[in-house]
Amino acid sequence: MSMERDLFITEVALRDGSHAIAHQFTVEQVTRVARALGEAHVPYIEVSHGDGLGGSSLQYGLSRTNEMELIEAAVSVSGESKVAVLVLPGIGTVRELKEAAKLGVKMARIATHVTEADVSAQHIQTARELGLETVGFLMMAHMAPVEKLVEQAALMESCGAETVYIVDSAGALLPHQVRERVRALRQRLRVHVGFHGHNNLSLAMANTLAAIEEGATRIDGSMRCLGAGAGNTQTEVLVAVLEKLGIKTGIDVYKLMDAAEEIVAPILAAPQEITRDSLVLGYAGVYSSFLLHARRAAQTFSLDSRDILMEVGRRKVVGGQEDMIVDIAAELARQKTGAAVNQEERYG
């Protein structure tokens, strides 16, 4: 069945949501979610470790289930919806990309830090050769000035990307900043522009609407905000809002609401909300996927996770440097002990 769509939504709960549940998805959960998304006619369903193909590791967190098994399960039940994978060059290899393509994946999203698009060339070219729809995904978009973002997006386009996403990984962008970024990309690029938001400052929906008003036609969301940090733009809410605006997504909003409520909500240990530490991600401009790492480090070193995240933001730590979170926590703990000893020596 062909759907009339003004824009194309990618549901990322089965990939971005992996961060929120420490990469513990089971085949059964993925099967149920992917089947429901297929029945609701969601065009793209992203499945992989939270950090993309090959992400399962001590550095990023070990997956409970091999992601290829999860991808295979999603492909087998998703009907006309297409399964997408995320790949971060340096973490995911061309070999894994080929394996995913063999399993029936139809879209590859090649993700780099916003200033490092040059490392995406080989993966973008391979994805095109494999016949996959190919997306460039510029993460931590708040960390670069607009001109730099445009330059990097143009580089991805020249490598063969058919869409370039502005990725607000930290949920730190404000609506006017999203607007100016989408506008600048639309002026310079010939390919589609996408937007991926995080809700740490409660702006994911506002930012997504700003992006759409400026002409972004590839949009991400996660049901029940099942994504890193405070999660992404809530897909079932977004689809309802777009329907009220007269923007066609081709998605059955009622079926999506049911999937969110009956299948996704039970996966979460607690409903996604903006907690004090997820708020700090947006406030300090920190990668949303760092949240659970910071919470664990806070527990180990008896610290406030906000202090760790603020320092991570100050030092501009980026994806791939997760080990720095523990280093920073250890340093803060040493400073705290040192300060307590000084206090003790001074005042007894």
Ligand X SMILES: CC[C@H](O)CC(=O)C(=O)O
Q: Is 16 in the site for ligand X (CB under 6 A)?
A: yes
Instruction: Report the residue from 178, 228, 256, 263 that binds ligand X according to the rule CB under 6 A.
Output: 228
Pairing of strands 133-139, 82-87: unpaired
Binding residue ranges for substrate? 15-16, 169, 196, 287
How would you write 227-244 as a 3-class SS string? CCCCCECEHHHHHHHHHH
Instruction: Report the residue from 17, 38, 43, 50 that binds ligand X according to the rule CB under 6 A.
Output: 50
| Least gap, CB of 16 to ligand X (angstroms) | 5
| Least gap, CB of 69 to Mn ion (angstroms) | 23
Q: Is 214 in the site for ligand X (CB under 6 A)?
A: no
Q: What is the radius of gyration, based on Cα positions, of the chain?
A: 20
Query: Which one, of 129, 142, 113, lies nearest residue 203 by Cα?
Result: 142
Which of ligand X, Mn ion, none is residue 136 near (CB under 5 to 8 Å by kind)? none
Residue 175: CB atoms within 10 A of its CB come to 16
| Residues contacting 256, CB < 8 A, separation 6+ | 37, 40, 42, 223, 235, 236, 239
| Least gap, CB of 2 to Mn ion (angstroms) | 29
Asked if residues 77 and 292 have their Cβ atoms less than 8 Å apart, the reply is no
First to last CA, the chain: 78
Instruction: Report the residue from 35, 45, 51, 156 that binds ligand X according to the rule CB under 6 A.
Output: 51
Residues between 103 and 122 that touch ligand X (CB under 6 A)? 111
Which of ligand X, Mn ion, none is residue 117 near (CB under 5 to 8 Å by kind)? none
Sketch the per residue contact string, 1 through 30, with Mn ion: x for CB under 5 A, - otherwise. ---------------x--------------
Nearer of residues 257 and 268 to ligand X, judged by Cβ: 268
Which of Mn ion, ligand X, none is residue 139 near (CB under 5 to 8 Å by kind)? ligand X
| Least gap, CB of 19 to Mn ion (angstroms) | 8
Nearer of residues 225 and 253 to ligand X, judged by Cβ: 225
Q: CA-to-CA distance for 92 and 254, rounded, in angstroms?
A: 36
Nearer of residues 307 and 322 to Mn ion, judged by Cβ: 322
| Least gap, CB of 148 to ligand X (angstroms) | 17
Cβ density class 85-113: b for 16+ within 10 Å, e for less: bbbbbebbbbebbebbbebebbbbbbbbb
Instruction: Report the residue from 113, 319, 329, 332 that binds ligand X according to the rule CB under 6 A.
Output: 319
Residue nearest to Mn ion (CB): 16
| Least gap, CB of 111 to ligand X (angstroms) | 6
**Is 19 assigned a catalytic role?**
yes
Q: CA-to-CA distance for 255 and 41, rounded, in angstroms?
A: 9
Left, alpha or beta for 49 (phi > 0: left; psi -120 to 50: alpha)?
A: beta
* Long-range CB contacts for residues 295-298, cutoff 8 Å, separation at least 24: 297/325, 297/326, 297/328, 297/329, 298/329
Residues between 126 and 155 that touch ligand X (CB under 6 A)? 139
Nearer of residues 183 and 198 to ligand X, judged by Cβ: 198
Residue 61: CB atoms within 10 A of its CB come to 22
Nearer of residues 85 and 242 to ligand X, judged by Cβ: 85
Nearer of residues 43 and 50 to ligand X, judged by Cβ: 50
Q: Is 116 in the site for Mn ion (CB under 5 A)?
A: no
Continuous H helices in 131-232: 146-159, 175-188, 204-213
Q: CA 66, 68, 70, 76 torsion: positive or negative? A: negative
Asked if residues 90 and 112 have their Cβ atoms less than 8 Å apart, the reply is no
**Residues contributing to the site for Mn ion (CB under 5 A):** 16
**Residues contributing to the site for ligand X (CB under 6 A):** 16, 50-51, 111, 139, 167, 169, 196, 228, 288-289, 319
| Catalytic residue numbers, as ranges | 19
